[in-house]
Structure 1
C-alpha cells in the first residue's frame, strides 16, 4: 500500500469522524431544551398548580390511593423517574454494547421522551396524574438517551480530540437551551399580546420543547453510525438492578476508573445542588424577585457556552485533570462569594450567576471527556450507564445536606456554604487518581496531555 493511499484513508477517516461529531453535537442541541425550559423553569410550578387544583380540602392528592401533599407531587414524581431510569439504563446500556446497535436505541429513547414532552400540552385542569406519568417517561427517556449519546464519544473522537468535542457538545446544548428559553419567556411574559392565556402559554412552552427535541434528533440519527459489537459471553440482558451490580463488579477490575466515578459523584452532586438551590437562595435569603431569577438563569445558559469552550482550550494547555481540579477550586470560591452576597442587590446575584455559568459547562464537559478515556473498549454504553446514574441518580445527597443545614441553623447562607464539602472531597479523591495508569489499565491509548 502506497503512502498516498494511506494518507487518503486517514483523511477519509478524519472526514468521517468530523461528520459524526457534527451530528453528535446536535443531540445535545435537541434535548437540552427539555432540561432548561421544562424541568428548570416551567413544569415544576405548573404541575404543582395542577395538583393543587385536584387536591382535597386538606391539600392532598391520591395517586393510586396514596395520600400525597399536592406541593410535594412534583418532587416525588422526579424521584420516581430516577428509580425508573436506574432500572432501565443498565439494561439498555448492556444491550447497546452487546448488539452494537446504539442508534435504534437512541432513536427510541429520544422519541419516547419527545412524545411525552409534547404530550404535556394536554396537561390542564386537574390532570395531575397525566402530568406525573409524562414527567416520569420523559425524565427516564432523557437519562437513557444521554447515556447512549455519551457512549458515542470514545467512538467518534480520538483521545486528543475528546476534550474539544465534549466541550462543543455541552456548548451546543447550553446555546439551544438559552435560545428556546428566550422564545418561551417572550411568549409567557407577553401571552396577552399573543392572544393566549397564561396557562395556555405554559402548555405551549412545554410542548415546544418536545417538538424541538424530536425535530433536531433527526440530525444525529442521520450522521451517527453503529459499530460492530465486541464479542461477549452470557445472556443478552439481566434484570436492571442485577445488570447495574454486574457493571460495578466489572469496574472493580478497574479500581482507578471506579475511584474517578466516586470523585465525580461527589463534586457533581455539589454542582447539581448549586444549580437546583440557587433560585431558592436568591428568593428566600437575598429577597430577589422572579424576573431577576429568570434573567440569572439565562445568564448562566449563555455564559456556560463560553465557559465550556474556554475550559476545553485550557485542558489542551494544562491537561484535563488539572483543569477539572482548577474548576473545583473555582466552584468553592463561587460558594464563598455567594455566602457573603448582600440581600436585595441583584447585581451581586448576577455576578454569582456569571461565575456559575463560566465554570459549569467546562467542568461537566471535561469530566465526560476524561471518563471516556477510562472505559474499556466495547463497554462504552454499559459504563456510561453508571456515569449517568452518578450524574442523575444520586442528586439527593446535596439537597439533603442543604436542607438539613437550613433546618439546624435557619440560615440559607450556612446551607449554601455547606456544599463546599462536596467540592473539597471530590478534589481530594480526583487528585489521588492516576489517570494515566487508569487509561492504560482500561486498555486505551494514553494521550500526550491528560
Structure 2
C-alpha cells in the first residue's frame, strides 16, 4: 500500500519507540540481573514483575483523565511530546552507573513515559488515515517497528558482545551505551511525526470556559464516557475481552527474558532468539493486516488469542532449554504484531472519531490494568510456590476468558 506522508511519519514513530521496547524486553532484564547480585531466580522474576505492574498501574490511572483533556483541538500533540521527552531523558539516564534499586526506579519512570506517549500515538490513528486504510496502516506500524528496531538493537548487541575483545570496553559500559544509542534512534524517528501531525478530530472549548473548568468537566466527562461505552453492547464486550486477552500478550512479552534467565538459559541465546522474533513479526504483522481484509478483523484477533493460549501452555510445560526458547520466540513473533495492530484498529472502527483520545484513554486503561493483573499474578504465584512455571501457567486462564468473550462478540450481527 502506498502511504501518504502523514501515514508514513506516523508509522516511523513505531520504528523509533520499538527500539526501546525491544531493549527493555531483552537486554534490560539481563542487565538488571547483573547489577542485582545475590538475588534468587524467583526474586528476580518477582522484582521485575512488580516493576512492570507499577509502571502499568500509573499509566492506567493517568490516561483516562489526560486522554479526555487531549481530545480538545491542539492538545494531543502537546501531551504526546511531554511524555515522549520524559521517556527519552530517562532512557538516557539509565546509562548512568547506579545500584539495582535506583536503576529499577528510573526504568519504571522511563516506561511510564514510553507507554503514555504510545497511548496518544495510538489515538492519532483516526487523524492520520481513514477507516478503510486503518487495519493496514496500524499493522504496518507494528511491522516496520519490529524490523526497524532491529537496526539499533544489532548495533547494541555487537557492542556488548564484541566491545570487550575488539574495543577494550567493559561489558557493563557497553551495555550502558546501548541506552544512548537507543535513545538517539527513538528521537530521530519521532521528529518527522512532530513536524507534520495535525489533529483533525477534536473538541472545542466553549465560550467563557477556562482550562480549570475543563479539568473539572473532564472528571464529569469520564463518567459520561463510561456510560456511553456501557450502552454500546458490542464495544463493551470487546473492551472486556481485550482486558483479558491483552494481558497474556503483554505479560509474555515483558516477562519472557526474565523467565528464560530464571531457567538458566544463556543470555546470548535469549537475545538472539528475541531478535529472530522481530524478523518473524515483520511479515506476520503485514500479513495479518491483509488477512483481516479477507477474513475479518475480529476473526483474525480470535486466531491470535487461541495461538497465545498454546504459547503459554508450551512455556509452562515444555520450555526448559535454549532450543525450546527459540521455538517460543518464533511462535510469539508470528502472532504478536497481528494481535496488537488489529486490536488497535478494530477499536478505532467502533468509537466516535471526535472523541478518539478519550476513548483510547479507556482502551489503554483496560490494557494497562490487564498488564497490572498479569504481572501481579505471575509475581504472586511465583512468590507463593517458588516456581516461575506455575506463574506463567496462570496467565492461560485470562486468555481463555478473553477468547470466550470474543466468540460471543462474533455472534453479534454486523460485528466483524
* TM-score tier after normalising by the smaller chain length: 0.7 to 0.9
Q: Mark the CA change 1:94 to 1:437 in structure 2 (over 3 Å): closer, same or farther.
A: farther
For the residue of structure 2 that corresponds to 1:229, the secondary structure is: coil
Q: Whose RCO is larger (CA < 8 A, sep 6+)?
A: 2
Moved more, 303-312 or 229-238: 229-238
SS at match of 1:190: helix
8 A Cα contact 1:402 1:415, kept in partner: yes
Aligned to 1:116: 90
Give the greater-gyration-radius structure (CA): 1
Paired position in structure 2 for 1:32: 18
**2:335, 2:373 → 1: CA distance?**
21
| Corresponding residue for residue 104 of structure 1 | 78
Closer, same or farther: CA 77–434 of 1 in aligned 2, 3 Å: closer
Structure with more helix by fraction? 2
State the TM-score, normalizing by the size of structure 1: 0.80
- The alignment's C-alpha RMSD in Å is 3.2
**Distance in 2 between residues matched to 1:398 and 1:428, nearest whole Å:** 18
Identify the residue that residue 331 of structure 2 maps to in structure 1.
355
1:161 counterpart = 2:137: no
Matched positions, count: 407
Deviation at 1:393, TM superposition (A): 3.5
* Gapped regions of structure 1 (runs ≥ 5): 1-13, 54-58, 60-68, 440-449
8 Å Cα contact 1:89/1:143 also seen in 2: no
- Cα offset for 1:45? 4.4
1:429 is aligned to 405
Residues 1:118 and 1:414: Cα distance change in structure 2 (over 3 Å): closer
* Partner of residue 204, structure 1: 177
Instruction: Work out whether 1:382 is the aligned partner of 2:370.
Output: no
Please name the residue that 1:189 is paired with: 161
Shift of the alpha carbon at 1:282?
A: 3.7
Of 292, 297, 301, the residue aligned with 1:320 is 297
Whole-Å separation in 1 of the counterparts to 2:314 and 2:260: 13
**Aligned mates of 1:195, 1:243 — CA distance in 2:** 58
- How big is the shift at 1:223? 2.5
Alignment CA distance shift 1:89-1:190 (3 Å)? same
Give a deviation string over 1:104-161, Cα, whole Å, max 9, x none. Answer: 332222222112212222x2144853x3553343222212211111111122222221
1:5-404 equivalence runs, <5 A = 18-37=4-23, 39-47=24-32, 76-121=50-95, 123-126=96-99, 128-129=101-102, 131-132=103-104, 134-192=106-164, 193-227=166-200, 229-231=202-204, 235-238=213-216, 247-285=225-263, 287-339=264-316, 341=318, 343-344=320-321, 346-403=322-379
Contact 2:57 2:372 in 1 (8 A): no
Asked if the contact 2:14/2:144 (under 8 Å) is kept, the reply is: yes
> Are the aligned partners of 1:307 and 1:358 in contact in 2 as well (CA < 8 Å)?
yes
